[in-house]
Amino acid sequence: MKLIHTADWHLGQMFFDHDRKTEHLVFLNWLKKQVWEQGVDVLLIAGDVFDSPNPSAEAQKMYYRFLRDITMENPDLQIIIIAGNHDSAARLEAPNPLLETVNVAVRGIVKHITGREIDCEHLIIPLNKGGYCLAVPYLRQGDYPESATYAGGVQEMYKMLIDKVEGKPIIAMGHLQATGSEISQNDRAERTIIGGLECISLEAFDDGIDYCALGHLHRAQRVSERENVRYAGAPLQMSFAEKNNKQGVNLITITDKTEIERLDFDTPVKLISIPNEPLPMAEVIAEIEKLPDGEVNYRSPFLEIKVRITEPEPSLRYQIEQALKGKAVRLARIEASTPQSENTGRIVSYEMLQEINPLDMATDIFKRKYGGEDMSRAMKELLQSVIREVEL
């Protein structure tokens, strides 16, 4: 059996006011080609199909056209999709009666039979070639078995599902942060469900699982030396913090053993940051002059400029735009920073303030108010659940 594991498409994303429709179309066409050429049996999409719970009509058309085209070209292909934290679980699952007729299964909602009893059968999908897929979407408050912690509840969910299946292979899916995984520094696109309280131990993924297809983190990686527990990564860089990430999908071949191969995707648009650290305007202009000349088109790189200022500069953007005339780049972001203080020399900006974890801020305030005493774990859990609901 051959499977392709992909995740975190974020269809409909606007990259600093730039539409990414063309980039996503290039990826989806490339993915269709890989499915056909590799003779894939199962396509796994591990969450964050859309960038927003309320995606645009154009983004939804792109998604459904892809499903229509790929199932027509590959009538025996089985597709399994789970919802991520950016998706609307109910919206994603709503077309299931139609999608199931073309062998597409979507899982976004955790159903309950009575009270707190979870409908496990809804999340266990038989694979056409034999075996099962544990299609666990992003779990919200109340979705998982009763537990003192979120991480404990998620771990119990997987254990419950594994105990209900007999036969091999077993594929697990999830949209979460696993303990030992690496995140992109200062990346708000990955921040929503990140925190020490929410890291899921690899003990959740039983040794009997042949492959675990994870989503949420945008950097492709195996987790804590577990070869068969992987993030496929996002097909496009979602922020400048991800500009050095390598894009692609995972190809899994299961026979009497599990073999994993990386299929690299060459993104049509690159991300550039100049300079590496904020510099005065004159030095930034000198860096801009080194950029390639040419006309701007849909393949022109997105540009981030870091400039250091010592006082308000109303003409800052105008100066940069003038310097960029004739350059084959698209200005996406200007990070204007000022020294925080003469003593520390630390640089702060509006973007940096956005990157502060609300839980870290609350913990710091609590310690200052109560003489260095740390907030209790129970209070952190409660506060984190509120933050999670607000950010969604």
Predicted local distance difference test score (pLDDT) of residue 264:
97
Closest to 22 measured CA to CA, from 370, 264, 269, 368: 269
Q: Residue with structure tokens 């200052």? A: 368
Bridge partners (DSSP) listed for residue 382: none
pLDDT band, residue 15 (cuts 50/70/90):
very high
Which segment, 133-137, 254-258, 332-336, is predicted with the most confidence on average?
Answer: 133-137
Say whether 33 sits in a helix, a strand or coil.
helix
Closest to 5 measured CA to CA, from 180, 253, 192, 184: 253
Predicted local distance difference test score (pLDDT) of residue 311:
79
Q: Residue with structure tokens 């009575």? A: 114
Bridge partners (DSSP) listed for residue 15: 18
Contact call for residues 13 and 238 (beta carbons, < 8 A): yes
Q: Residue with structure tokens 């105990």? A: 163
**Residue 34 corresponds to which amino acid?**
Q
pLDDT band, residue 195 (cuts 50/70/90):
very low
* Superfamily for domain range 2-264: Metallo-dependent phosphatases (3.60.21.10)
**Higher pLDDT among residues 6 and 298, named by residue:** 6
pLDDT of 179 higher than 90: no
Q: Which of 98-107, 172-181, 209-218, 340-349 is least confident?
A: 340-349
**Residue 217 corresponds to which amino acid?**
L
| φ, ψ at 213 (rounded to 5°) | -100, 105
pLDDT band, residue 58 (cuts 50/70/90):
very high
Helical pair 377-391 and 150-162, crossing angle rounded to 10 deg: 80
pLDDT band, residue 166 (cuts 50/70/90):
confident
Q: Residue with structure tokens 């309280």? A: 197
Look up the pTM and report it.
0.85
Predicted local distance difference test score (pLDDT) of residue 136:
97
CB burial of 135-163 (b: ≥16 within 10 Å; e: otherwise) equals bbbbbbeebbeeeeebbbbbbbbbeebbe
Predicted local distance difference test score (pLDDT) of residue 200:
87
Instruction: Delimit the domains of the chain by residue range.
Output: 2-264, 271-354, 358-391
pLDDT band, residue 190 (cuts 50/70/90):
low
**Residue 123 corresponds to which amino acid?**
L
- Burial-class residue 293 by CB neighbours within 10 Å (0-12, 13-18, 19+): exposed
